[in-house]
Amino acid sequence: MGAVSDPTAPTPSPWAGRARVAGRWTLRVAIALTGAMIAVALFGRISAPIGPFDATLAFRPAGGGATVAVPPLGSIAVEVYDGPLRLDVALQRVDQERAQRLASDPVRLAGVVDQVTDDLRSAVVRLVWTTAGLALAGAALTSFALTRRRKEPLIAAGITTVVLLGTGGLGAATWRPEAISQPSYTGLLVNATSVIGDAADIAARFDAYRASLEDIVGNVGTLYSAVSALPAPSGDGETVALLHVSDLHLNPAGFDLVSQVVDQFGVDGVLDTGDITDWGSEPENRLITSVGTLGVPYVYIRGNHDSATTAALVAAQPNAVVLDRSSTTVAGLVIAGIPDPRFTPDKSTGDDDAGDEVLYESGEELLDYVETLPEPPAITMVHDPKQGRPLDGDVPLVLAGHTHDRKVASFDEGTLLMVEGSTGGAGLRGLQGEFPEPLTCTVLYLDAETGRLQAYDEITLGGLGETEVTIQRRFPPPPEENPDEASVDVPAAPASPSD
């Protein structure tokens, strides 16, 4: 006799079954996409030659488009397509052999744009296949590891294939080649449009654009070649790299230069010898917050254009230290400093020349503090070079700024004085002269154990409207020598009232 169903048993709801199926597929999609993204994030990067450059390419989760990073100059972003993945291209270094062949062969140089285009196209195609393979493998392996069912990796691979095809289709459907004429710039490249003209105009005169691009490639290639070919600092021990900046005068390009050099040169800290602003006013101080984003110690002394409010704001930034007849330690090296005793933002008042006695007395105050330390500091920081004279013979190295004229000199007793130019190109004041002031900074290499200066890189970026970037590695003179390049007017001690 057949089984009799219980009329009182509840009838299964069709919606419950559909919910279970939807939940199961939702979980499958989540597992597949998670595995695919992890695999792409960990391994989805390739290296490829692009013209004279060695570059890395990768797809990263973002809102589509492409970016080209050109450290230490900045980056270029182009919104050429939509989608969940952005193409990131980072220029790493210049292959000196390829660059030399390019520079010595006019035919190759004339075809540099075509070569870069072909190399980039080939690299992107290889990256697409690499990314797709990694995504499929990551999805399948993750699915099998979590479910232990044979059919699940195939399902995960199928889901990933559909997503990849959809992503590619979205990119093709939204492809906007005209967006190449409307790039956005970050870092020092924000001035690119003023240097080579509006991109839309350039597209209308391709020959001029080709020549400009060749110049840019050549200039960046020279910079990268210079960095890679620089001789190593002397000494066998560990080296500490510190970036000396001064007289930023609130120039955004100067702050960008600092950020790019910090990243490109991997410095252990930044030493700022003052005049970070022009007038020391509160509205100016907003840009100062960028020093807290550098990710390395920022040691600062107040210049004659900086107010107490400015110094307090710098001190409030992460990793920042303001020296005021005090010292700090960066990467094991002791650094002491004292601010400029004057506050004279308006040079038209004549207060900037209040008297060398005030500056000399400030240097003597710093010397009194230095003598209380167990050992002389590796570096002492002042704003005006005249403050450094009392320290001669008692400290090995004095950093200064103020003059906007980079000079290196030895005091009578052997203390080395390094005066930085203006990292901000003298700010708005730099536009008052016939020629724009260059932006300068210096990377110092010191022995981590002794604190002795081993070498230094002088970095110079052309002022407003100029594109030249130069890097020169120099070595400090022996203590008994006073180098020719040090023909700076080292201030003497002021005469006593009785003289």
Nearest to 464 by CA among 490, 435, 487: 435
Compute the C-alpha angle 284/470/52, nearest 5°.
115
Q: What ranges do the domains of the chain cover?
A: 25-191, 236-486
pLDDT of residue 33: 87
- CB contact at 8 A, 215 and 462: no
**What is the Cα–Cα distance from 425 to 290, expressed in whole angstroms?**
18
pLDDT of residue 339: 96
**What is the Cα–Cα distance from 353 to 314, expressed in whole angstroms?**
26
pTM as predicted: 0.57
**What is the Cα–Cα distance from 6 to 279, expressed in whole angstroms?**
90
**What is the Cα–Cα distance from 496 to 499, expressed in whole angstroms?**
5
pLDDT of residue 309: 86
- CB contact at 8 A, 280 and 343: yes
pLDDT of residue 54: 83
Question: What phi-psi label fits residue 279: left (phi over 0), alpha (psi between -120 and 50 degrees) or beta?
Answer: alpha
Instruction: For residue 8, give Cα distances in angstroms to 4, 12, 17, 381.
Output: 12, 12, 21, 91
What number does CATH give the domain 236-486? Answer: 3.60.21.10
**What is the Cα–Cα distance from 450 to 190, expressed in whole angstroms?**
41
The SS3 of residue 165 is helix
Q: Kindly state the DSSP code that residue 349 receives in the 8-state scheme.
A: G
* Digitized pLDDT (tens) for each residue of the chain, 499 residues in all: 455 555 555 666 667 777 777 888 888 888 888 888 898 888 888 888 887 778 888 988 887 888 887 766 667 788 888 888 888 888 777 666 666 565 555 555 555 566 777 888 888 889 899 999 998 998 899 988 888 888 888 888 898 899 888 888 888 888 887 676 566 766 555 544 444 444 444 444 444 434 444 454 445 455 555 555 555 565 566 899 999 999 998 887 788 888 888 888 889 999 999 999 876 555 556 678 889 999 999 999 999 988 888 899 999 999 999 999 999 999 999 999 999 998 876 554 444 455 789 999 999 999 999 999 999 999 999 999 999 999 999 999 999 999 999 999 999 999 999 999 998 886 655 444 445 678 899 999 999 999 999 999 998 886 544 556 788 888 887 655 554 444 344 444 454 433 3
pLDDT of residue 60: 85
Task: Determine the number of helices (DSSP H) and then strands (DSSP E) in the chain.
Answer: 11, 19
